[in-house]
Structure 1
Amino acid sequence: MPTVLVPLLLATDQISKLWALRSLDPIPKPFLPGLYLTLVHNTGVAFGLLKGNPFWLGVFSLLVGFALLLYLARARLGWITSLALSLMTAGALGNAIDRLGRGWVVDFLDIGPGLWPVFNLADSFVVIGVILLLLPWGRSQG
């Protein structure tokens, strides 16, 4: 599963970011109820922490992504754990590509101006992966 899922998720993340760069601006645009599209150049990590360190954050994200990819390739995992780690791998690699290639991460998903930091698909992948690992059936599944 990870050999197909990680590149698919990574491509989806990068295509969405290219679209955002070409189509959006920093002014929030309503998209769906409770969801706006707002282009943000994020030089930090979650919630704007550690701003101004894109190279080292990119290296760290790249190392985490490759470590997870190696683990996925070698370990015998159940499907929930494999899905969770695939999501986390794609998220780490997607944001590493941005940090190392652009010097900042493309964020564009906004659940309400000022309510929550703007994020992207890679961020969502990491959060969903962590949630899957934390759920009781995700932990016991293997």
Structure 2
Amino acid sequence: MQTKVLTPEHYLETLPEDKQQAINELRKVIRQNLPEGFSEAMSYGMIGYVVPLSLYPPGYHCNPQEPLPFINIASQKNFIAVYHMGLYASPELLNWFKEEYSKQVKTKLDMGKSCIRFKKIEQIPYPLIGELASKITPQQWIEIYESQFKR
């Protein structure tokens, strides 16, 4: 469910209170743990953490005017979503995350290629998402991105 709001704060204001609290907490743990160099922005209608054009002028191959996306968080109709491009691009990171998730959360992981879905807000493992956010620096993400996605 993409939105056309222009700031993360405005995005939060549009959400129901329970989802607002969950997105706020995700935003907090990501910002506390994300390596220096990433920027927070509205990205594809979601709160995003991107490699800014000042660090990576070529931008995103799908739209070079846009900064390189890394993590997005969103309130979807039936779940809270965390989109982490590193999980899609790095089998080692994906394996680490799946293993840690199974240790920390008793419910089955609901995940697509880069999308982690949380249907029950009370089951979001905030510390684990924070740790996941800390695993890749902007420079590492650029290197992974260029090796796997950019043609």
The structure carrying a bigger strand percent of its residues is: 2
The structure carrying a bigger helix percent of its residues is: 1
How high is the TM-score relative to the length of structure 2? 0.30
CA radius of gyration, larger in: 1
Higher relative CO (Cα under 8 Å, sequence separation at least 6) belongs to: 1
How high is the TM-score relative to the length of structure 1? 0.31
